[in-house]
Amino acid sequence: MTTVVITGLGTIGGFGAGSEALAAALARGVAEVSELRDPAGYRDAGAVNAAALCRRNGEDLDLSPWLDPGRARRMSAPSRFAVAAARMALRDAGLPVERGPATRAVAMATTFGAGVFTERLLCEFLDSGPRTASPFLFTDCVASAPAGQIAIDLQATGPNVTVVQREAGPLLALIEGAREVASGRSDVVLAGHVDEIGTLVHAVLGKLGALCAPDEDGMIRPRPFGRTRRGFLAGEGSTVVVLERVADARARGARVLAKIIAHARAFDPTAPRADWGRGGAVLASMLRARLARLGLTPGDLDAVVSGASGSVRGDSLEAEVLRGLFGANMPPVFAPKAVTGEYGGGNLAAALVLLGGASCAQVTAPDMLDPALGIALHDGGLPARARRVLVSSLASGGAAAWVVLEKP
């Protein structure tokens, strides 16, 4: 089996732009949130009105170091985020933006696509009739638009796939990208996730009871695995990684951020359409079997970057899977979605940043943890000898994906 490595990381989110901004946010252990205005009145009275948005002091994040503002104006927010993150990832990998002889492919995921453009299109359509629908809005509304814009921007003429599988999207896109590189069909794959949190999407999440309410001080602390958890913090942004075969990376002297040494996918058919199920035992056995097939045991895994987000049922399922996999020998567990928010791929970026030596502050205090879940969160960086990290993502609706990353 050809080993695939990650050689570049681009990430944008409520924490800012770049891995240093993410590392700083993880060290603080608290998310940066911005108010989301609701002029159309979609939200229920008293509902959560803030999310981890790509904004600073009321202004959109400055993406001009990666993306020409003129070009950015002709894109939806997800396309802007994704193209900027892809360019950042290429730069981080030491690869030129201009296409060389290497075949470049794109594997992106999204949960909501271009929600704001879709809402605008629907409003135009409902207010003024279907003949007023904007071709520009329509073409950038499709889920695959960010991946298409990356391809156009970076002349990525290899396969271009967009995965839609909610919270499991980032890892599923990573797995599709790793397969593409390992097969030899493409030399470089830009893989990742992008999401935009617009008012409509946020309001619907609120109506579904999925969102964490602010504390009395106005901060939103989702408290993954906490006994008082009530939902997650919605987050937007994009994370894109550069995937290459290890031999190619070595040949060009590239710095390797992580090796992808295993991955697994499964589905929990007990899950309702908009929530998590109770099939943790089955998921754990599927994961264990897959690891065994790849010559790994749970004891080979030194830490877990969990997808726990503060969701009531999602965190319960995650805990059940981890207990089923590790039993009493639970390695250190991190839950960075408390900082990055749910969506946008921040969890994958956090795993790479932690592998690179960053620390994550305690996001749920020990006395706030749910004793029924049996999970304690780690405070600090990866243990000194830790090399292999299990990254976990269980999606509402039933999909599940895991990746094992190894420190080079």
Partner 1 sequence: MSGTRPRIFVTGLGAVTGFGAGVAALARGLRRGAPAISPVTTFDPGAHRTQLAGMAPLPPQREGDPAARLGRGERFAVQAAEEAIVHAGLGAAELTAAGVFFGSSNGGLLEGEAFFRRLRRRERRLGLRQVASHQNNGPGDAVARRFQCTGPVLTCSSACTSANMALAAALDALRAGECEVALAGGADALSEVTYAGFNALRAVDPGPSRPFRVDRAGLSMGEGAGVLLLETEAHARARGAVVLAELAGAGATCDAHHMSAPKDDALGPLHAMQRALDDAGESPSSVAFVNAHGTGTPHNDVVEARALRELFGERVADVPVTSTKSLVGHLLGACGGLEAVVCVLGLLYREVHPTGGDDPADPELGLDVVIGGVRRLAGARVALSNNLAFGGNNVTVVFRRAPHD
- Kindly tell me which of 31 and 107 has the beta carbon lying closer to partner 1: 107
User: How far does the chain reach from its first CA to its final CA, in angstroms?
Assistant: 17
CB of 297 to partner 1, least distance (A): 19
DSSP state of 335: -
Question: Can you say whether residue 395 is alpha, beta or left, with left for phi > 0 and alpha for psi between -120 and 50 degrees?
Answer: beta
Helix or strand holding residue 103 (H, E): none
Dig out the tokens for 385 from the structure: 């000898």
- Kindly tell me which of 40 and 219 has the beta carbon lying closer to partner 1: 40
C-alpha–C-alpha distance, residues 172 and 108, integer Å = 9
CB of 256 to partner 1, least distance (A): 23
Task: Give 351's contacts (C-beta < 8 A, 6+ positions apart).
Answer: 258, 305, 336, 389, 391, 405
Dig out the tokens for 196 from the structure: 């935009």
For residue 260, give the nearest of 156, 131, 355 by alpha carbon: 355
- Kindly tell me which of 51 and 282 has the beta carbon lying closer to partner 1: 282
* Dihedral angle computed from the Cα positions of residues 282, 284, 289 and 294, in that order, rounded to the nearest 10 degrees: 150
Dig out the tokens for 253 from the structure: 């002297």
- Kindly tell me which of 232 and 267 has the beta carbon lying closer to partner 1: 267
CB of 330 to partner 1, least distance (A): 24
CB of 399 to partner 1, least distance (A): 5
CB of 80 to partner 1, least distance (A): 14
C-alpha–C-alpha distance, residues 283 and 266, integer Å = 7
Dig out the tokens for 279 from the structure: 């099939």
- Kindly tell me which of 152 and 251 has the beta carbon lying closer to partner 1: 152
Dig out the tokens for 184 from the structure: 């030899």
Q: In which residue are the tokens 């170091």 written?
A: 65
Q: Judge whether 222 and 50 are in contact, CB under 8 Å.
A: no
- Kindly tell me which of 149 and 347 has the beta carbon lying closer to partner 1: 149
CB of 177 to partner 1, least distance (A): 12
Q: Judge whether 404 and 389 are in contact, CB under 8 Å.
A: yes
Q: Judge whether 211 and 231 are in contact, CB under 8 Å.
A: yes
- Kindly tell me which of 17 and 172 has the beta carbon lying closer to partner 1: 172
For residue 53, give the nearest of 36, 70, 29 by alpha carbon: 36
- Kindly tell me which of 16 and 113 has the beta carbon lying closer to partner 1: 113
CB of 122 to partner 1, least distance (A): 5
Helix or strand holding residue 141 (H, E): helix 135-141
Q: In which residue are the tokens 């520009």 written?
A: 136
Q: Where are the beta strands (DSSP E) in 323-365?
A: 333-334, 359-360
- Kindly tell me which of 148 and 307 has the beta carbon lying closer to partner 1: 148
CB of 244 to partner 1, least distance (A): 19
- Kindly tell me which of 28 and 293 has the beta carbon lying closer to partner 1: 293
CB of 232 to partner 1, least distance (A): 16
Angle at 230 between CA 218 and CA 207, to 5 degrees: 90
CB of 355 to partner 1, least distance (A): 25
